[in-house]
């Protein structure tokens, strides 16, 4: 009797079978299957879902009775993860930081010279008023009137301006004076809104998911319905919008501002108001602000937050402002007295000549030409890598990159971020722009899960360094058939035995 003995599988067939199994494993369905997601959840108690018991407690943080850690913003978390992979600010030149939310600060062609010294008159050594130096407040009001309100009967004065030590301080001061109200916010949007809405609990957060099929456009008609049916009292948004690089302008912005005359307060974070990229050269120098559509500066409930950080490319100065009705400014003076105490006095004085309209126009044109060229360069290089950008940015200095077409698990932002850390490059995973104060949502269900934010704020040589790293990750994934993708992530600086070398 003869028995048929099957031939053993060939070596190539065996590897093909292993690859098939590996592909199945890589199709993560939940957070618990992903190493990158577990690192994020375990980084701090505040990253755990809230509202469920038992709560996870980190004994290294929960050491003081009554203290609850608020959690870090996306940029801080990503910086911490980068440090665990060897990044340090003393050796940052070895890394490409495409996660930074700040523009390059060096000289630009056609721009005025960069500030190199700060005068220190004797009286500047005293505290400044919590509303800011009057001369700077006047300069801010004059700039907005000159740029956006020529010919209008209602004009801003210094009484409509409060100087604050940074944009987050401005947000915090405003949040501190808002009562128990429903506050509308959009997803995706600026990461710090998550912490503001969590910390100032009198603001009851009401989310609106923006649709990528509509280029993340805010539906003003639907917003009006939500005001009527949900009782929204405050609308909070960035415009131009971080991270999508889109902007509300023209009729839509006019309609949004009009809500401030109908019983709803509109708070607009306008830090990227100069980063507008026109199609025609004659349009360079144009910027966007809701101030253009305000009818009465003291009656329209429209609040503008802006400053030197992005447009003047002076993030280290921490000189910013809030513009709104006079009675808002007096309230902000009071909240500032216990929140931050006011902005740096000498730097406020040094900022005054920088707000001269002639100086501003020169800065604005140089900035727009330079950053538009960088935007176009980044988009072209991403296209070469077959990473087409669904919705190219028309403003800001961010690219909202959809990874959905990449093979799993490289197609989610947290894993893509961790793989780039191995190549000494930092990006920001999209989930940090999913403003989700309760953190209840499974991260895999987030509308931002398949995205990362790339910044073209840094100098072009840093951008190329980071884009080269993205190319290496994609090449490695293809050549190894995803063999080492999604695993082997360092969680502590001590795990690093040798510095990572750039290939």
Q: Does residue 419 carry a pLDDT above 70? A: yes
Instruction: Kindly report, residue by residue over 150-183, the tens digit of the pLDDT.
Output: 999 999 999 999 999 999 999 999 999 999 999 9
C-beta of residue 321 within 8 angstroms of C-beta of residue 287 = no
Q: What is the pTM of this model?
A: 0.88
Model confidence at 10: pLDDT above 70: no
DSSP 435: -
Band the pLDDT of 435: cuts 50, 70, 90. confident
Res 185 pLDDT > 70: yes
216 vs 163: CA distance, rounded Å: 31
**Which whole-number Å values give the CA distances from 141 to 149, 169, 303, 359, in the listed order?**
10, 20, 13, 16
Query: pLDDT at position 422, please?
Result: 95
C-beta of residue 129 within 8 angstroms of C-beta of residue 345: no
CATH of 39-103+397-480, one of 3.40.50, 3.90.1150, 1.10.4100, 3.40.1620: 3.90.1150
C-alpha torsion sign, points 37, 40, 45, 51: negative
Nearest to 175 by CA among 209, 141, 198: 198
Q: Which residue has the tokens 């929140």?
A: 339
pLDDT category of residue 195 using cuts at 50, 70 and 90:
confident
Tokens (6 digits) for 284: 């360079």
Q: Which candidate, 189, 174, 216, places its Cα nearest to that of 302?
A: 174
Cα separation values, 51 from 47, 193, 231, 435, 497, Å: 12, 20, 24, 17, 40
Q: Report the mean per-residue pLDDT for the chain.
A: 88
pLDDT in tens, 346-378: 999 999 999 999 999 999 999 999 999 999 999
What does the alpha-carbon distance between residue 233 and residue 229 come to, in Å, rounded to a whole number?
Answer: 11
Q: Looking at the predicted structure, is the pLDDT value of residue 53 above 60?
A: no
Residue, of 31 and 48, whose pLDDT is higher: 31
Tell me the pLDDT tens digit for each residue of 63-110.
577 777 666 667 788 989 999 999 988 777 899 999 989 999 999 999
C-alpha–C-alpha distance, residues 59 and 41, integer Å: 15
- Is pLDDT of 124 > 60? yes
Q: Which CATH class is domain 122-362?
A: alpha beta
Q: Where are the domains of the chain?
A: 39-103+397-480, 122-362
14 or 319: which carries more pLDDT confidence?
319
pLDDT, tens digit, for every residue of 210-254? 999 999 999 999 999 999 999 999 999 999 999 999 999 999 999
Q: What is the pLDDT of residue 27?
A: 60
d(CA 136, CA 142): 10
Q: How large is the average pLDDT for residues 300-307?
A: 98
User: Residues 226, 232: contact at Cβ < 8 Å?
Assistant: yes
The strands making up 428-429's β-sheet, listed across from edge to edge, are 398-402, 451-455, 428-429
């Amino acid at each position: 009797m003869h028995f048929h003995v099957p031939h053993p599988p060939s070596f190539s067939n065996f590897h093909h079978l292993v690859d098939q199994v590996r592909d199945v494993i890589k199709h993560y369905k939940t957070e618990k299957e992903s190493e990158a997601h577990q690192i994020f959840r375990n980084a701090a108690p505040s990253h755990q879902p809230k509202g469920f018991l038992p709560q996870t407690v980190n004994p290294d943080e929960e050491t003081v009775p009554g203290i609850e850690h608020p959690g870090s913003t996306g940029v801080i978390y990503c910086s911490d993860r980068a440090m665990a992979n060897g990044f340090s600010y003393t050796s940052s030149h070895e890394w490409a930081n495409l996660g930074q939310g700040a523009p390059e600060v060096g000289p630009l062609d056609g721009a005025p010279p960069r500030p190199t010294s700060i005068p220190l008159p004797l009286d500047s050594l005293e505290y400044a008023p919590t509303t800011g130096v009057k001369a700077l407040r006047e300069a801010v009001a004059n700039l907005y009137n000159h740029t956006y309100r020529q010919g209008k009967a209602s004009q801003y004065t210094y009484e409509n301006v409060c100087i604050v030590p940074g944009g987050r301080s401005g947000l915090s001061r405003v949040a501190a004076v808002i009562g128990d109200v429903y506050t509308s916010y959009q997803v995706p949007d600026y990461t710090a809104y998550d912490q503001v809405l969590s910390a100032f609990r009198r603001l009851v957060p009401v989310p609106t998911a923006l649709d990528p099929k509509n280029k993340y456009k805010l539906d003003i008609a639907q917003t009006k319905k939500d005001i009527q049916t949900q009782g929204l009292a405050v609308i909070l948004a960035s415009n131009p919008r971080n991270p999508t690089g889109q902007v509300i302008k023209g009729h839509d912005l006019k309609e949004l501002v009009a809500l401030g005359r109908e019983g709803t307060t509109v708070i607009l974070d306008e830090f990227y108001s100069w980063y507008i990229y026109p199609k025609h050269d004659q349009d360079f120098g144009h910027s966007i602000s809701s101030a253009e559509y305000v009818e009465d500066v003291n009656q329209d409930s429209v609040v503008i937050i802006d400053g030197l950080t992005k447009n003047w490319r002076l993030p280290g100065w921490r000189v910013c402002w809030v513009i709104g009705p006079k009675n808002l400014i007096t309230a902000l003076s009071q909240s500032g007295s216990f929140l931050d105490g006011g902005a740096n006095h000498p730097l406020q004085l040094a900022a005054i000549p920088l707000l001269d309209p002639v100086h501003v126009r020169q800065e604005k044109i140089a900035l727009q030409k330079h950053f538009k060229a960088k935007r176009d360069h980044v988009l072209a290089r991403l296209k070469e890598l077959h990473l087409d950008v669904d919705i190219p940015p028309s403003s800001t200095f961010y690219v909202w990159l959809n990874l959905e077409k990449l093979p799993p698990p490289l197609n989610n932002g947290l894993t893509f971020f961790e793989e780039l850390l191995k190549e000494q490059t930092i990006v920001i995973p999209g989930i940090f722009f999913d403003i989700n104060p309760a953190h209840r949502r499974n991260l895999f269900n987030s509308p931002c899960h398949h995205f990362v934010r790339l910044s073209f704020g840094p100098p072009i040589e840093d951008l190329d360094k980071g884009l080269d790293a993205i190319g290496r990750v994609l090449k490695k994934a293809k050549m190894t058939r995803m063999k080492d993708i999604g695993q082997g992530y360092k969680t502590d600086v001590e795990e690093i035995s040798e510095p990572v070398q750039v290939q």
